[in-house]
Amino acid sequence: MTPVEIENIFRSEAGRALATLIRLVGDFDLAEDVLQDTFAAALERGEVPSNPRAWLVTTGRNKAIDRIRRETAFRTRQDQIVHETKSRNTDATGGIGPAEDAMDDDALRLIFTCCHPAFAIETQVALTLRTICGLTTGQVARAFLASEDAMAQRLTRAKQKIRLAGIPYEVPQHDALNARLHGVLAVVYLVFNEGYAATAGETLMRPDLAGEAIRLCRLLDVLIPARSEIRGLLALMLLHDARRTSRETAEGDIVLLEHQDRALWNRVQIAEGLALVQQALSEPGRPNSYAVQAAIAALHARAPSFSETDWPQIAGLYEVLVRIAPSPVVALNHAAAISMVDGPAKALALVDTLAACGELDGYDLLPAVRADLLRRLKRDGEARAAYRQALESTSLEPLRRFYLRRLSELS
Amino acid sequence: MQYLLLIYQNEVNDAKRTEAEANARSAEYGVFTQSIIQSGNFKAGDRLQPTSMATTVRVRDGKTLTTDGPFAETHEQLGGYYLIEAKDLDTALAIAARMPGAKYGSIEVRPIWVYNK
């Protein structure tokens, strides 16, 4: 096996192996260390056995026992680990690792621990990327545009809090599950959004982050099956991500939906997304906001061209969203959809009302939407002023270039 | 009469102490604790984990809001305390959310420092 092949196997299995190791050795840091050692050992051997997850757990556990043995003070814990793993060794993988079911539970436990509300949301995202997605501290730091030192410190403090504040390593029960799952999905969606359109930096997209979010959501869908919120979010991300290659030029400039080459859209991914939207919307009860957003993305994905898009239905779905998950950003998107149905003048009135509330102050897409409506109304002077305002509010280079391009077209 | 003696100090400076300095401080507290036990004044006392280990709970409109850190509003002052035993943070946060004060102010949940057994 090539090192790249081994790394790919490791990346796809590490999160779940880590989850089980944490339970077995009872210590985040020790589990991470031995898993890293196991990866290094695999690279040295040049191969990974056919059941990599069980092998990672078994080898990691043995390494942990070795380490603890060297520190005799921890004798009791060593007995505990040996005892725990012995009692779980009866399984389908030939008795060498813990059972699949137990590992599924562990993976969920780890997700809920990383996305615990006792952490700030940025910390939840960072912990998730580091421990579940298996990104290095340096890679997590880059996702946040933070220094590696600062990120390492944040992660250390978070793991300290798990231990010292007694954050439980378990899946919340009954009533608590819904509220906590909501928080977990918010983290997944944040990771995706950063990959779909970065907050700042040189490049519009971070496909690695978008990919991680999709992978994580797929895992959640396996672990907690038939949840319309999970399926809705997965559908939403697949449909957005399907347009990836058409969203920027080779030079990294933004291509608007209007001008995207629809032949570049990933049809396989769209088909999967459409099927999931169907499932998510057919669940009984009130539709959740992810499913409705996915339904909007589905209408875009199915439209043969920009002009043939079903704008009235899209505007209608945004009205549903405004009702079930009201937020200023949703209201802004609703206004943009209205501009395609009732024209830019009507939409501008909505946007101006929204701007007057002040809730979106500093959000560059507010002046950007305004600018676009003014441009379409041929009010060039006001459009220029709005584009300049958008330009000042963004830290993303491709967006800056886009606003500058619009400004030069208007002068 | 009973009195609560609250210890305020700079955590950042504390974290920079050498092991010898930390041990000296512990010994100093040991002497003080013994002296008030002997004089009959001692009721209870604990060292707290730093504020970075704190979680704050507020209940507004029936919804529990959980945030990282102490971050008490500057216009809120310490008004009382409960020392509880709970199996984990979730249990402690759930109890905190049931306190009447969670609806009007904030409840800071801070773990007690457990010295190595």
Residue A256 CA to its chain's centroid (Å):
23
In this structure, whether the domain defined by B2-111 belongs to CATH 3.30.70.1060 is answered with yes
d(CA A100, CA A106): 10
What would the two tokens of residue B45 be?
């006392």
pLDDT digits (tens, 9 = 90+) for A367-391: 999 999 999 999 999 999 999 999 9
Q: Is the pLDDT of residue A343 over 90?
A: yes
- The conformation of residue A257, written as its DSSP 8-state character, comes to G
Q: What is the pLDDT of residue A178?
A: 84
Range in A96-105, A112-121, B6-15 the model is least confident about: A96-105
d(CA A252, CA B84): 57
State the complex-level ipTM.
0.86
Backbone torsion region of residue A378, taken as left when φ is above 0, otherwise alpha when ψ lies between -120 and 50, otherwise beta: left
**Cβ neighbours around A323 below 10 Å, total:** 11
Q: Is the pLDDT of residue A80 over 70?
A: no
Question: Which residues lie closer than 8 Å to A103 by C-beta, 6 or more apart?
Answer: A16, A17, A19, A20, A53, A57
d(CA A183, CA A196): 20
- Cβ of B53 within 8 Å of Cβ of A160? The answer is yes
What would the two tokens of residue A18 be?
């880590």
Q: What is the pLDDT of residue A92?
A: 38
Q: What is the least distance, in Å, from the CA of B46 to any CA of chain A? A: 15
A159-164 average pLDDT score = 93
Supply the Cα-derived Rg of chain A in whole angstroms: 24
Numbered residues of chain A with Cβ closer than 8 Å to any chain B Cβ: 116-120, 123, 157, 160-161, 164-168, 172, 176
- Burial environment of residue A296 by CB neighbours within 10 A (0 to 12, 13 to 18, 19 or more): buried
- Cβ of B88 within 8 Å of Cβ of A166? The answer is yes
- Cβ of A165 within 8 Å of Cβ of B55? The answer is yes
Question: Which residues lie closer than 8 Å to B69 by C-beta, 6 or more apart?
Answer: A120, B51, B52, B54, B55, B56
Q: What is the pLDDT of residue A188?
A: 95
Q: Which amino acid is at A81?
A: I
- Which residue, among A37, A1, A46, A3, has the nearest Cα to A17 in the 3D structure? A37
Q: What is the pLDDT of residue A95?
A: 45
Residue A31 CA to its chain's centroid (Å):
24
Between residues A313 and A108, the one the model is more confident about:
A313
- Which residue, among A143, A161, A266, A151, has the nearest Cα to A209 in the 3D structure? A143
- Which of A118, A168, A176 is facing B68, going by the closest CB pair? A118
Question: Which residues lie closer than 8 Å to A44 by C-beta, 6 or more apart?
Answer: none
User: B56: helix, coil or strand?
Assistant: strand
Interface test with A, best of B46, B49, B53, B56 (most A CBs within 10 A): B53
pTM: 0.83
Residue numbers in B near A172 (CB within 8 A): 90
pLDDT digits (tens, 9 = 90+) for B42-101: 999 999 999 999 999 999 999 999 999 987 777 888 889 999 999 999 999 999 999 999
Query: Residue B107: phi, psi to the nearest 5?
Result: -115, 115
Residue numbers in B near A167 (CB within 8 A): 88-90
Residue A48's pLDDT band, with cuts at 50, 70 and 90, is confident
Q: Is the pLDDT of residue A82 over 70?
A: no
- Cβ of A164 within 8 Å of Cβ of B90? The answer is no
C-alpha distances out from residue B52 to A151, A156, B25, B45, Å? 15, 12, 21, 21
